[in-house]
């Protein structure tokens, strides 16, 4: 029986912010990956490498979380402003104990957003910082009139304030961000948000509280109970590991992995649905009208680091398996679009499940990048519910916007082709576009020597007849089909 897509039934909007990115001062995530400085031989605009920016612009990055992560709770923003020669050098104690010169700071971050056309999501330092430090940073960024921090911003070359869309108060406060109890964190959050200035009354800053790690349901319950009325979003962190073991050397490798780890990785990715369901159920008790969103601001695969690299840099390869994980989890976010408003994959460049890898002046796009590219038409579209049996090892999502119906389907079976049929409104008469991402090997990946081993291609295995869409899906494949009136 075909899967019937209920195009006449109104569904929730799939927020574009679900496709958000995360870039921390970690390894080569910033320096060398995004920022090379104006004097670099690598082509750049204001120090930001042009090849990376141009690639990211093509997937329309909607929001970028910065500066961390764990780094946020050791970051003091005044170290990263003013003439670069006078900026304070710091030691990144969280990630490799390397010294950085703070040449990428607030101004450079907002310049990156300008070039990308993305919104800001900044994490405050509540671990080693102060309420005053946070308030002055927001004043520096957003105050339009006369004030000490606004005038300091002008002295540093920026006349007008920036737009600050999202602001996180605390990161992993249950762990490296302070090892706090949820009751204590709730009070800290309430204090900090009290002194968060809102200079733009028409566009108030959206406040994100530190939410749970994975299945810590008590954290969600406690924070919603004591601080729920003071926040706009509650974060959730969950990483997909093949083994489920966090010790270095036991997470599983990004390439040359056994078949059993293909399946365990898929199973752990699918666990995201249970986590969102259970945390949402708790949130519903305190917020039945869904005024508070769930923000999954760290997610993605986490493997053993690439051999020979600094273990504190979290560099790993990105294979067709990662594409499967990305599509599975994005589909889950879509199904929970009534509660999940934003997500930020970790991380954008050179770290964990990244969009892009760089090496000197070279750049390659990962299989995960192509999934984000293929899913663009779901951004801010209306979710379309489906009714019918889904074949084993297949996951899909559908949405409609501007007279188009977009369906993304994944066959994560290693060897078996899958035939999938959909029915939709008769108004959808033709296939507007069809693309596929697939590979022969389960650890196929792009390299600097061969950057196009895994890439998007036109998909020829689709037919549309009298409102019935028939697809023949190869194994290890992600397909996106767009139908038009």
> Rounded CA gap, 8 and 333, in Å?
21
Tokens coding 334: 């879509």
The closest of 368, 412, 410 to 264, measured between CA atoms, is: 412
Largest alpha-carbon pair distance within the chain?
A: 68
Pairing of strands 468-473, 462-465: antiparallel
Query: For the CA atoms of 245, 94, 353, 355, what is the dihedral angle to 10 degrees?
Result: 180
Polymer length of the chain: 485
CB distance 391 to 401 below 8 Å: no
> Rounded CA gap, 49 and 56, in Å?
11
> Rounded CA gap, 335 and 2, in Å?
20
456 is catalytic: no
By CB atoms closer than 10 A (0-12, 13-18, 19+), residue 299 is buried
214 is catalytic: no
- Please pick, among 133, 172, 250, 392, the residue that the annotation labels catalytic: 172
- Please pick, among 146, 298, 382, 385, the residue that the annotation labels catalytic: 298
Q: Which residues are catalytic?
A: 172, 298
């Amino acid at each position: 029986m075909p899967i019937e897509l209920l195009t006449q039934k109104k569904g929730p909007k799939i927020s574009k912010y679900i496709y958000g990115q995360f870039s921390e001062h970690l390894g080569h995530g910033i320096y060398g990956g995004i920022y090379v400085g104006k004097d670099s031989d690598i082509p750049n605009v204001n120090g930001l490498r042009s090849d990376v920016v141009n690639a990211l612009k093509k997937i329309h990055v909607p929001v970028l979380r910065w500066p961390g992560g764990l780094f946020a709770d050791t970051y003091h923003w005044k170290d990263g402003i003013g003439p670069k020669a006078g900026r304070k050098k710091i030691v990144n104690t969280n990630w490799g104990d390397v010294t950085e010169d703070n040449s990428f700071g607030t101004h450079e971050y907002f310049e990156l957003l300008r070039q990308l056309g993305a919104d800001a999501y900044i994490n405050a330092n509540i671990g080693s910082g102060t309420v005053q430090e946070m308030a002055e940073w927001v004043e520096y960024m957003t105050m339009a009139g006369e004030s000490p921090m606004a005038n300091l911003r002008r002295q540093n070359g920026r006349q007008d304030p920036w737009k600050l869309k999202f602001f996180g108060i605390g990161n992993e406060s249950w762990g490296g961000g302070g090892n706090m109890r949820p009751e204590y964190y709730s009070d800290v959050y309430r204090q900090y948000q009290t002194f968060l200035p809102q200079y733009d009354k028409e566009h108030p800053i959206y406040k994100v509280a530190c939410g749970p790690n994975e299945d810590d349901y008590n954290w969600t319950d406690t924070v919603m109970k004591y601080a729920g009325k003071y926040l706009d979003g509650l974060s959730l962190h969950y990483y997909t590991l093949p083994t489920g073991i966090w010790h270095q050397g036991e997470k599983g490798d990004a390439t040359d992995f056994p078949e059993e780890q293909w399946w365990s990785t898929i199973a752990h990715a699918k666990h995201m649905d249970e986590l969102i369901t259970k945390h949402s159920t708790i949130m519903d008790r305190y917020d039945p009208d869904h005024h508070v969103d769930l923000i999954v601001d760290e997610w993605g695969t986490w493997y053993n680091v690439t051999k020979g690299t600094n273990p504190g840099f979290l560099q790993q390869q990105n294979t067709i398996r990662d594409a499967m994980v990305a599509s599975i989890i994005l589909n889950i976010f879509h199904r929970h679009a009534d509660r999940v408003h934003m997500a930020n994959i970790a991380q954008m460049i050179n770290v964990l499940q990244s969009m892009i890898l760089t090496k000197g002046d070279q750049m390659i796009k990962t299989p995960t990048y192509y999934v984000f590219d293929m899913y663009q038409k779901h951004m801010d579209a209306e979710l379309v519910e489906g009714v019918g049996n889904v074949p084993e090892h297949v996951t899909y999502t559908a949405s409609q916007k501007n007279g188009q119906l977009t369906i993304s389907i994944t066959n994560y079976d290693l060897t078996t082709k899958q035939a999938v049929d959909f029915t939709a409104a008769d108004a959808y008469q033709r296939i507007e576009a069809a693309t596929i991402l697939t590979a022969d090997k389960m650890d196929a990946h792009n390299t600097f020597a061969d950057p196009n081993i895994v890439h998007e291609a036109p998909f020829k295995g689709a037919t549309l007849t009298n409102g019935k869409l028939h697809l023949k899906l190869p194994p290890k494949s992600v397909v996106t089909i767009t139908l038009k009136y």
